[in-house]
């Protein structure tokens, strides 16, 4: 992830949104407070934003704001899990995760009918990684364990799930978002996915099939 910053003025010119919109979105928590970076410049203090994140976020807001209200959008972007619980049946029927993923997940759990958002998220991450071919089913089991043991510590904040391999030994790590980690040269990064991204996708997916 690049750390390039963009000034408020450039941002507004580039995206064509107005000051009012920008501040409205901030009030609605569509744009997190941490992205407003205050820095001194030759004209006094100015506000900067992380360029890439901000541009994708604004693009998403502009695309989705016709279908969803600002409050619903805020819910999508919030890293908080939300109060969604789904039944086994609807998870499968709505195709939130495939049957295969679901069964793999269930091998490690007592059978139950209702699943919390965190559990669904775990399945969703598993499914994403299985689908893009970065992990095997056995590694998927480690993933489930990692998520269950440690996701609690990161809940509500932006974090990433990383998979590395050294000499064929897989390792999962949960890291705070966009932090830098360096390993020795035999270590290969296999995959690194942003969980808040997954949360957004998952919330949209659940929301869509509901509406």
Partner 1 sequence: MAQQQNARYDMHISGVGKAAGGQYGNMQIDGMGKVNGDIDCLACEVNGTSHFYGAVIAESIRISGTGTVDGEAKAGSILVEGFSTFKKDVSCKSIAVNGRGVLEGNLTAETVEIGGSAKIKGDLESETIRVQGGFSIGGFLNAGELDITLQHVSQAKDIGVEKITVKKGGRRRFFEQITPVLASRLEANVIEGDEIYLEYTHANTVRGNRVTIGPGCRIKLVEYKEEFKQDPSSQVKKAQQV
Residues forming the site for partner 1 (CB under 8 A): 9, 13, 18-24, 26-27, 43-45
Residue placing its CB nearer to partner 1 in the complex, 19 or 211:
19
Residue number with CB closer to partner 1 (27 or 166)? 27
CB nearer to partner 1: give 23 or 183: 23
Let me know: does 163 contact 134? Beta carbons within 8 Å.
yes
Least gap, CB of 110 to partner 1 (angstroms): 29
**Ordered alpha helix ranges (H), 94-136:** 99-106, 117-131
CB 36 within 8 A of CB 23: no
> Considering the complex, what minimum distance in angstroms separates the CB of residue 191 from partner 1?
38
> At its nearest, how many Å lie between partner 1 and the CB of residue 46?
9
Whole-number Cα distances in Å, 104 to 108, 123, 133, 192: 8, 9, 16, 21
Shortest separation between residue 9's beta carbon and partner 1, angstroms = 8
Distance from C-alpha of 48 to C-alpha of 10, rounded to nearest angstrom: 9
Name which of 65 and 165 has its Cβ closer to partner 1: 65
Residue 32 CA from chain centroid, whole number: 14
What is the C-alpha to C-alpha distance for residues 8 and 22, in angstroms, rounded to an integer? Answer: 10
The single-letter DSSP state of residue 43 is T
């Amino acid at each position: 992830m690049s750390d390039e910053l963009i000034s408020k003025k450039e941002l507004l010119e580039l995206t064509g949104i107005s000051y009012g919109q920008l501040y409205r979105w901030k009030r609605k928590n569509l744009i997190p407070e941490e992205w407003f970076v205050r820095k001194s410049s030759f004209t006094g203090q100015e506000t900067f934003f992380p360029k890439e994140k901000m541009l994708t976020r604004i693009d998403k807001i502009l695309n989705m704001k016709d279908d969803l209200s600002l409050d619903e959008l805020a819910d999508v972007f919030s890293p908080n899990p939300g109060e969604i619980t789904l039944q086994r049946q609807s998870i499968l029927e709505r195709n939130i995760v495939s049957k295969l993923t679901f069964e793999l997940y269930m091998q490690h759990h007592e059978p139950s009918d209702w699943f919390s958002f965190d559990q669904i998220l775990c399945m969703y991450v598993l499914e994403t990684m299985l689908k893009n071919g970065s992990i095997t089913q056995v590694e998927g089991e480690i993933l489930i364990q990692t998520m269950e043991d440690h996701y609690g510590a990161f809940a509500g904040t932006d974090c990433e799930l990383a998979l590395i391999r050294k000499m064929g030994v897989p390792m999962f790590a949960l890291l705070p978002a966009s932090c830098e980690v360096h390993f020795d040269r035999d270590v290969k990064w296999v995959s690194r996915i942003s969980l808040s991204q997954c949360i957004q996708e998952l919330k949209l997916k659940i929301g869509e099939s509901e509406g």
